[in-house]
Chains A and B, each alone.
Chain A
Amino acid sequence: MQNSMSRRRLLKWSGATATVMVAGSLLPNFGITAALAADLGEGDVGVLNYAYALEQLEAAFYTQVIETPYADITEEETALLTDIRDHEVEHRDFLKKALAEGAIPALEVDFSAVDFTDRASVLGTAMVFEDLGVSAYNGAGKLIEDVAYLAEAGRIVSVEARHAAAIRDLLNPNSVSFAGDDVVDENGLDVVNEPATVLKAADPFIKTEVTAMSLV
């Protein structure tokens, strides 16, 4: 992060105050039971923090999955899920390092809706996270100003898509689900989501209040 102004503006701690939407902003605040709060910031810092927030969520999720494996997990599933955990941790740490002092704090997650002992619950949640991640990066590309960051996002998003396909195949083996008609449209295009949609979907899993005041 070269832009010291963005860096200064990044951490707008909003405390207990509800965040007022800035005109033109597409993003709501999400997470209302926060002990902590953070704004993603402006420009490329905001986009990278957006990615960093999602990678934190994924890394925390798969860390838990590996720590407390679901019943009757197979060797193949353990291998795949361990790889995915490692990837998400790498993504998280990579983005944190790229953001340096611009990075939002560690988010407090909430996986109370997930039954980690149950395969369907775990893999179903994993599918949601992976598809969501793919759609988020696909939608964020146009928001990135510096093509160097666009390239880095590109290095991550296709790995997320590989995860999504692998998880989907675990849930529905040898079916078309890996790139099903629910995520790929008639033009052969994957799902794309704006930050507002993604953050709303991620909201139930994140306790920390995160706002995206300037990310449009």
Chain B
Amino acid sequence: MTIQTNNLIAGIDPEIKDILVSNRREFFRGSAAKLGLMASAPVLLAMTAQNAFGQELPQDIVDVLLFALTLEHIEDAFYRSGLEAPGLIPEEYVGIFNQIGKHEAAHVAFLTTALGSAAIERPELDLTAGGKYADALTNFDTYLTLSQTFEDLGVAAYKGQAGVLAPNDDILTAALQIHSVEARHAAIVRKIGGKKPWDGAFDEPMTKEEVLAAAGPFLA
């Protein structure tokens, strides 16, 4: 698992790879607190999640959907910001990023509806990851790197949670439908960056811990 995950991340962003490899648990604690996932767990447990699927969802499924919604919020904000940044995205790719952004906004709306009263608002974000990507919204190369990171991370994240969602056919299917859209995004962003659209015949999953470690720096 570790080797496979590192292989996936290796193609994306060396710094995030370092975070994953060297400091996994610390980052999980930090980012989880930032996300409010751990802090809010007792509140959520006490809450009835009335949702779009018309049923009370078990806590483990609610947790996965909150996790997914957090990632979608990051992506949604990332594409909104990028599309608003003057001159960042070359003209020939504006349509593509509009399309990706449209999907991420739709995912946020879909998951928010699915979670009902348990849904979270967009968390405070720092797309420069504490200044590490200071030119995230002014340098297209940096923007592409981050885009690929978020998309490949999203693919790995949904993949890693499928087993938890398996008891609920409708939610599992919806998650799989989002999962393959993220993979389509990842492929086109990689291609724009002059890379192969894939790493190999199989995409590897990441655990929630690993994903939060990678996404944590982008939460303010």
Contacts and interface: CB of A to CB of B under 8 A. Distances in A.
B184 A164 contact: yes
Nearest to B90: A174
A187 B106 contact: yes
A166 B166 contact: no
A150 B105 CA distance: 27
Given A161-B183, A178-B188, A150 B106 contact: no
A124 B117 CA distance: 44
Interface stretch (A6-14, A36-44, A110-118, A135-143): A135-143
A93 B184 CA distance: 24
Interface residues of B, number: 47
Contact of B176 (A138, A147, A169): A138
A204 to B, nearest CB: 24
Given A162-B184, A165-B184, A189-B177, A155 B205 contact: yes
Given A151-B162, A187-B106, A137 B176 contact: yes
Interface string A157-182: 11111111110010000111011100
A141 B176 contact: yes
B173 interface: yes
B181 interface: yes
Interface residues of A, number: 45
B205 A154 contact: yes
Given A138-B177, A188-B178, A192-B173, A159 B204 contact: no
A175 to B, nearest CB: 7
A163 B197 CA distance: 8
Contacts of A144: 166
Interface stretch (B25-33, B39-47, B92-100, B141-149): B92-100
For the complex of A and B, 6 pairs with smallest distance between CB atoms: A188-B106, A161-B183, A165-B187, A189-B177, A158-B183, A90-B201
13 contacts: A138-B180, A141-B162, A141-B173, A159-B203, A161-B187, A162-B186, A165-B184, A174-B92, A178-B185, A188-B104, A189-B110, A190-B180, A190-B181
Interface of A: 80, 83, 86-87, 90-91, 94, 134, 137-139, 141-142, 144, 147, 150-151, 154-166, 169, 174-176, 178-180, 184, 186-192
